[in-house]
Amino acid sequence: MGALNRQHLFEAAVAPWAKGLFAFIRCHAPQDPEDIYQETLLAAWKGFDGFRGQSTIKTWLYGIARYKCLDAMRGKYRRQAVEEQGAEQEGRDAGFEQAAVTRMDLSAAMERLREAERTLLYLVYGQGFSLREAADILDVPEGTVKSRLHTLRRRLRAGMEEKP
């Protein structure tokens, strides 16, 4: 396949999903979404010839983005471990005081979830992926996605009824 033809095919395959893909990355890596977006597209470009259609292009792209976001989070946590313990404690105390003043809303309930749980909710409810597509992106069985969503909905409901 010629280089120009490959470029056009790649652009045509990626373009419909670019905006949502960037929003997904921005949600999971707010500090440097542009860099992660570029890394995602570069990885997709490099792997484009090997894409065999075992999933949709959309699912494949979001899977790459998920791994790039996880890589960025690992780096973020390594940097945080180097910071002083006192500075971390101040941030936690400020967050606790703020939560004690206001009634818990959906945003606060979401913050209590693990990153993987927020990712699942975002994929299904924020981006409209089917359960099968979300399962492919997260590399888990579809039944696991169903049970996790059921549990998460119940936890969010209970969390929103509580007062901090």
Domains and CATH numbers, the chain: 1-82 (1.10.1740.10), 104-164 (1.10.10.10)
- The mean pLDDT of the chain is 80
pLDDT at 144: 95
The tens digit of pLDDT for each residue in 37-83 reads 999 999 999 999 888 888 899 999 999 999 998 888 776 655 555 55
Give percent of the chain with pLDDT exceeding 90. Answer: 39
Closest CA to 17 of 76, 68, 60: 60
Closest CA to 21 of 6, 8, 34, 7: 34
pLDDT at 115: 85
Report residues of the chain scoring pLDDT below 70: 1, 75-108, 159-164
